[in-house]
Amino acid sequence: MPDITIKKISLPQSITVKKFSEVLNTPINIVITELMKNGILATINEKIDFETASIIASDLGFEVFEELIETGEGMTIEKLNEEMKKEKESGENLKSRPPIVTILGHVDHGKTTLLDTIRKANVAAKESGGITQHISAYQVKKKGQLITFVDTPGHEAFSAMRERGVSIADIAVLVVAADDGVRPQTKEVIEYLLAKKIPTVVAINKIDKPEINIQRVKQELADAGIVLEEWGGQVLSAKISAKQNIGIDDLLENILLIAEVEDFKANFKRDPLGIILESHLDPQKGPVATVLVKTGTLKEGQDVIAGTSSGRIKRIEDFKGTRISEAVPGTPVSIIGLHSSPNSNDILQVAPEKSQSKSHSQGGLLQNSEGEAFSAQKMMRVIASEKIKRLNVILKSDVQGSLEALGQILGEIKSEEVAIDYIATGVGNITESDVRLAGTSGAIIYGFSVETTPVAKRMAETAKVEIKNYKIIYELVEDVKSKLVAMLPPIIERTDFGKMKVLALFKTGKGDMIIGGKITNGKMVNSSLIEVMRGEEVIGKGKLNNLQENKVNVDECVSGKECGITFLGNTKIKEGDILLSYKEEIKQRTL
């Protein structure tokens, strides 16, 4: 018998079968046997996730613990902004920091190209489907001064993410195409900028095109509430061609001019506060988070928390991937060392000194493949009505921003008959825990820009769980839509042709009759459906198999004429009955 006197163990988010057996101090063959009992075929070098390891450990008599630092879920972007306001009013230890800028505008007006030109890096080539799938941030230098750019998705489906970009930015650049003018999406952005009183620079783009009308653009902007400086307003503008690299210097100088007037400052000496822009699970590095430091100085070795995630910072990298020891306010960085992937918008802060231990057991908290509680409340929809048909879905994505984007787009699907029921959502690859959950809930697993682990793939094949992986958001959305459409009850559309009064019965067979009559309304159509009425009551249905007029086969016979028909059906028709000729079509439902 294996030595299992030590009952309490702690486990990482994923572990190889070999290492797992060492932690348990249990022979490898016993561990593999236990895995097989649970339907998991894994080699000694393959990784299993936390939940699977917890179940096997529990079966072998162990109790699994994981050390977690207390979370900082109380801090929000709104509270952070209040903190920054108090900090500025106090005037203590304040130094100038780089302005944080976001670029907004209508889809196809040149936002991504402008970002490309400013950053001197090819973003668009890395995008699936031409959409900026992830939020990132970077810095450029102009006249010796740094400017931080927060990149937000440009497609209209990502409005909430765009607003998130605006809420953490100091300055907005509004891109308007000189040949297209102010579009509905541009108006939405303008309304938001005016409501939040965010300093704005207008970039009138595509001035290299032949069919431009800059005066019209200025008039449309004024009509929408943005009055440019040359028209007597307060808003600066720059005429640019992002594609031809024209006017970019003017735009950057305008940004610096606003930064000088606004005088953005922060306390460099305090503990850091930052906003999680993005996070993903790297196979080698583990959870990696992109953080925008808003105040204080972030340093390697600090114990930090962000929402339900925690850890000690092992490495800080700037936007170019260069390792740095600390990050000052206004700096976007990637950090490594968190135990799990935090959510976008989580506030990163130094952890309190005390920590707590939480027990994980098979019958406890529902967990995802990262070992953390599913924290996708924004995406979960409680379906109260039992009349609604549910499509059970488990959704996994590479980064939190993609998860938010998918939640937004799928949330736009409105129906009173069908709905998506999110069994679970999470960041990271599809693992055996996801497959097990899908098997018990009858869910389809959708993955966006993630992989399925070999163990999970074999489990899915055995359990007949459907896994669908996509690289383009809209292909995934269309697949979900098609599944929802297939669940909708069909619409049967009926078209009435006419009526015939039965005057004579020529033959009564088993399942068919030959009948003569006169058309009283409309027409009788060959091969149509027949409804038999006796008085006011429908007594049966059948099919018109053969139609004759003057003993000649015809396709139709019109009102006032007499005809003979062959009726297929079990209804026994009598003289004086009324036969209705009609057709039914099943219409394809849409959402």
What CATH number corresponds to the domain at position 135? 3.40.50.300
- Higher-scoring residue by pLDDT: 283, 302: 302
Residues 208 and 339 in one domain: no
Whether 337 is in a domain gets the answer yes
Residues 481 and 504 in one domain: no
Classify 268 in phi/psi space as left (phi over 0), alpha (psi -120 to 50) or beta: alpha
Mean pLDDT of 389-396: 92
Whether 370 is in a domain gets the answer no
Residues 562 and 537 in one domain: yes
Instruction: Among 51, 67, 83, identify where a domain stops.
Output: 67
Residues 176 and 117 in one domain: yes
Here the tokens at position 75 are 């801090």
Whether 311 is in a domain gets the answer yes
Distance CA 54, CA 46 (A): 16
Give the predicted TM-score (pTM) of the model: 0.58
Give residue 443's pLDDT: 94
Give residue 5's pLDDT: 53
Give residue 100's pLDDT: 94
Residues 186 and 312 in one domain: no
Mean pLDDT of 189-210: 90
Q: Is the pLDDT of residue 71 over 50?
A: no
Q: What is the CATH number of the domain that holds 395?
A: 3.40.50.10050
Q: For residue 190, which phi and psi values (nearest 5 degrees)? A: -60, -45
Give residue 361's pLDDT: 32
Q: Which range, of 5-9, 224-228, 441-445, averages the lowest pLDDT?
A: 5-9
Distance CA 8, CA 31 (A): 17
Q: Which range, of 174-178, 193-197, 384-388, averages the lowest pLDDT?
A: 384-388
The helix or strand, by DSSP H or E, that contains position 29, with its residue range, turns out to be helix 28-37
Distance CA 15, CA 342 (A): 21
Q: Is the pLDDT of residue 87 over 70?
A: yes
Tens of pLDDT along 561-575?
999 999 999 999 999
The helix or strand, by DSSP H or E, that contains position 474, with its residue range, turns out to be helix 473-487
Give residue 304's pLDDT: 93
Identify whether the C-beta of residue 581 lies closer than 8 Å to the C-beta of residue 541: no
Give residue 294's pLDDT: 94
Q: Is the pLDDT of residue 125 over 80?
A: no
Mean pLDDT of 234-238: 94
Mean pLDDT of 544-570: 95
Q: What average pLDDT does the chain have?
A: 83
Range of the domain at 50: 8-67
Neighbours of 416 (CB within 10 A): 8
Angle subtended at Cα 373 by Cα 368 and Cα 375, rounded to the nearest 5 degrees: 100
The total number of structural domains in the chain stands at 5
Q: Is the pLDDT of residue 109 over 80?
A: no
- Higher-scoring residue by pLDDT: 119, 261: 261
Q: Give percent above pLDDT 90 in the chain.
A: 45
Q: How much is the CA Rg of the chain, to the nearest whole Å?
A: 33
Give residue 504's pLDDT: 95
Strand partners, 310: 305
Here the tokens at position 376 are 């996708």
Q: What is the CATH number of the domain that holds 336?
A: 2.40.30.10
Mean pLDDT of 206-213: 90
| Residue 102, Cβ density class (10 Å: 0-12 exposed, 13-18 middle, ≥19 buried) | buried
Give residue 514's pLDDT: 96
Give residue 242's pLDDT: 87
Residues 131 and 232 in one domain: yes
Residues 29 and 163 in one domain: no
Q: According to the per-residue pLDDT averaged within each range, which of 1-5, 227-231, 388-392 is highest?
A: 227-231
Residues 285 and 181 in one domain: no
What 3-state DSSP class applies to 259?
helix
Per the listing, tokens 């906003």 go with: 275
Q: Give percent above pLDDT 70 in the chain.
A: 85
Give residue 368's pLDDT: 38
Residues 568 and 433 in one domain: no
Label residues 329-339 b or e (16+ Cβ within 10 Å = b): bbbbbbbbbbb
Distance CA 75, CA 83 (A): 10
Residues 518 and 570 in one domain: yes
Q: Is the pLDDT of residue 19 over 60?
A: yes
Residues 330 and 204 in one domain: no
Helices (H) and strands (E) in the chain, counts: 13, 34
Give residue 389's pLDDT: 86
Label residues 20-32 b or e (16+ Cβ within 10 Å = b): bbebbebeeeebb
Mean pLDDT of 447-454: 93
DSSP state of 396: E
Q: Is the pLDDT of residue 130 over 60?
A: no
Whether 325 is in a domain gets the answer yes
352 — pLDDT class (breaks 50, 70, 90):
confident
576 — pLDDT class (breaks 50, 70, 90):
very high
Whether 103 is in a domain gets the answer yes
Q: Which range, of 91-95, 234-238, 239-243, 299-303, averages the lowest pLDDT?
A: 91-95
Whether 3 is in a domain gets the answer no
Instruction: Among 239, 263, 287, identify where a domain stops.
Output: 263
Q: Is the pLDDT of residue 546 over 50?
A: yes
Whether 305 is in a domain gets the answer yes
Per the listing, tokens 């170019």 go with: 320
Residues 131 and 276 in one domain: no
Mean pLDDT of 53-59: 88
Give residue 308's pLDDT: 80
Give residue 414's pLDDT: 84
Whether 1 is in a domain gets the answer no
Q: Is the pLDDT of residue 357 over 50?
A: no
Distance CA 491, CA 480 (A): 20
